[in-house]
Amino acid sequence: MSQHMLKGHLDMILLSIIEPEPTYGLRIIQEAQLRTEGYFDFKEGSLYPALHRLVEQGFLSTEMRPSSTGGAPRKYYCITESGKKELVQKREEWKTFSRAVNNLGGIG
């Protein structure tokens, strides 16, 4: 996927991964790879600025939790009520967009 396409849908992707339960950065990267069979391979340099932006916008909150491996505490990202509403909107936009592209390309 091109960086331009990813940028337009990154918020939906991240909110979708975090929606089921609070998650920390490395786990978000792993979940994205797992759920997309390796298609999304986020780098920390692009992931963390996006997470920080979502926190600033009020779509995510953060909390520190102890590491399950005994290391330093980890910052967990949690979806807020505002983030849940944003995710619903982004998913609807995606459905409309993908349906239109599929119809245009003879895929649908």
Note the pLDDT of residue 36.
Answer: 87
**How far apart (Å, rounded) are the C-alpha atoms in residues 94 and 91?**
5
Residue bearing tokens 């997309």: 36
So what's the pLDDT on residue 76? 97
Q: How confident is the model at residue 31 (pLDDT cuts 50, 70, 90)?
A: very high
Residue 8 confidence (pLDDT): 67
SS3 63: strand
Tell me the three state secondary structure of residue 24: strand
pLDDT value, residue 5: 55
Higher pLDDT, 2 or 39: 39
Residue predicted with more confidence, 20 or 6:
20
Q: Which domains does the chain have, with CATH numbers?
A: 3-104 (1.10.10.10)
Q: Which two tokens stand for residue 87?
A: 């995710």
Reference 79, options 22, 29, 37; nearest CA is 22
CA distance 22 to 79: 7
CA 69 from centroid of its chain's CA atoms: 24
Across the range 25-46, mean pLDDT stands at: 90
